[in-house]
Structure formats: C-alpha cells, structure tokens
Amino acid sequence: MDDYIVCRCEDVSFDDIRHCVDESDTIDIHEAKLRLRVGMGTCQGRVCGPLLERCFAGHAIGTLERNSVLRPVLLADIASEMVEGKE
C-alpha cells in the first residue's frame, strides 16, 4: 500500500503523504499540497482530492481546494465579440 500512487498527475505516493504527515503534527491538506504538489496537476485534485481527504481524515484538516481549469463560455459572448470586431 505504501507505493500506491494517490496523485497520478504529480506522481505522489501514499508513502510520500504519510512521511509528510509524520513530519508535522499540525499538517493540513493545504500544507500537504504546497509541500508535495498533490492536487496541482492536470486534474486539479478532482481525482486525488477525495482519496487524500479519506486517507487522512484523522490527521488532515480541511478540504483540497480545486481550481477550475476551464470555464463555460456563452455563445452569445463569443458572437458579440465577433460583431464588435474583437478577435
């Protein structure tokens, strides 16, 4: 189980996270993210975030903040830019 990859995007294993937690008694998920880059890859924590929260529910505090990589754009906004000559 130690070599189980928790964050595939950043190649962070369960053992890496466990060592990070063992080093600090007051670690939270945000600090683990800064130290290990867990949740900072392509998926932005959508795959590893829930697993990380479940694995360390007794140790870590908080939830992994997920940044939106893409946001929806209304077709009306695109059309209005094209009509106004903005490209």
The two tokens of residue 44 are 């932005």
Q: Among 53, 14, 17, 50, which Cα is nearest to 34's?
A: 17
pLDDT at 64: 61
The two tokens of residue 79 are 């059309």
Tell me if 82 sits within 8 A of 49, measured CB to CB: no
Number of domains in the chain: 1
pLDDT at 10: 92
pLDDT at 11: 92
0.85 surpassed by pTM:
no
The DSSP bridge partners found for residue 12 are 7
Tell me the residue range of the domain where 76 lies.
Answer: 5-83
pLDDT 10s digits, 15-71 = 888 888 778 766 777 788 888 898 888 888 888 888 877 777 766 556 666 656 667
Cα–Cα distance measured from residue 15 to residue 21, given in angstroms and rounded to the nearest whole number = 10
